[in-house]
């Protein structure tokens, strides 16, 4: 493909060849200029417009940010690495992003239920989940400390395929959000990191998702 049809920033084809318009990249440039101007009127409306652009999820740009971090982490399991990487570069919003989360980013870990579907732990995730890319500081912005559930993997990692399907079909009304995967270094056990159900309903945890 001719180089004049490709955005030099994100290496993707222009939306409109005649106008050379790449929404994700151009949106980022606009965001960088938000603080350099003001209308002087209708400030609340202007701020609302700014906020909308800042919170938008731009798949192409975010995929690049994720790819840039691939060399900074490893789970020790190729299948898990591929699952996380594929989910990150294909995520259409923050709810479909999963991460490799170091075990030392959790605290106050305690067992809450043990049964035929495995052992579930409650923990505090110090950083919280990814919300969006921060343009000003060039890093992922996160939600802050949050309660999560940790569920041990089966030895054969049979649930990896289920996680792929879950991420593609997830919605907030029918299933538990998956934040990522971690590993207990002492027990050498991989665990899924799930949204904690504060209403105390543990059946979904026990069944999986």
Q: Using alpha carbons, select from 138, 124, 13 the residue that is nearest to residue 68.
A: 138
Confidence of residue 54 (pLDDT cuts 50, 70, 90): very low
* In CATH, 76-207 is 3.40.225.10: no
- pTM given for the model: 0.70
The residues spanned by each domain of the chain are: 3-56, 76-207
Taking 50 as the threshold, does the pLDDT of residue 16 lie above it? no
Give the range with max mean pLDDT: 8-12, 86-90, 99-103, 117-121: 99-103
pLDDT at residue 170 tops 50: yes
- At 148-162, the pLDDT tens digits run 999 887 655 666 776
Residue 11 and residue 67: Cα distance in Å, rounded?
13
List of residues 6+ apart from 13 with CB closer than 8 A: 1, 5, 6, 7
Q: What's the whole-number mean pLDDT along residues 29-57?
A: 59
Residues 22 and 12: beta-carbon distance below 8 Å: yes
Provide the Cα torsion 118, 123, 126, 128; round to 10°.
60
The mean-pLDDT minimum among 8-12, 26-30, 93-97, 150-154 falls in 8-12
Residue 157 vs residue 4, higher pLDDT = 157
């Amino acid at each position: 493909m001719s180089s004049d049809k490709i955005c030099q920033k994100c290496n993707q084809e222009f939306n409109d060849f005649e106008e050379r318009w790449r929404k994700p990249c151009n949106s980022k440039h606009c965001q960088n200029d938000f603080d350099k101007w003001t209308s002087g009127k209708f400030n609340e409306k202007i701020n609302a417009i700014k906020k909308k652009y800042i919170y938008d999820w731009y798949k192409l740009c975010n995929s690049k940010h994720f790819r840039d971090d691939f060399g900074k982490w490893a789970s020790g399991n190729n299948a898990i690495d591929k699952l996380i990487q594929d989910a990150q570069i294909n995520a259409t919003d923050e709810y479909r992003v999963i991460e490799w989360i170091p075990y030392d980013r959790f605290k106050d870990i305690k067992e809450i239920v043990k049964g035929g579907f495995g052992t579930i732990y409650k923990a505090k995730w110090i950083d919280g989940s990814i919300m969006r890319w921060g343009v000003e500081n060039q890093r992922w912005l996160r939600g802050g400390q949050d309660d999560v559930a940790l569920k041990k993997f089966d030895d054969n990692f049979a649930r990896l395929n289920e996680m792929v399907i879950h991420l593609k079909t997830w919605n907030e009304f029918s299933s538990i959000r998956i934040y990522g995967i971690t590993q207990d270094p002492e027990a050498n056990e991989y665990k899924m990191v799930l949204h904690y159900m504060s209403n105390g309903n543990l059946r979904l945890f026990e069944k999986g998702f």
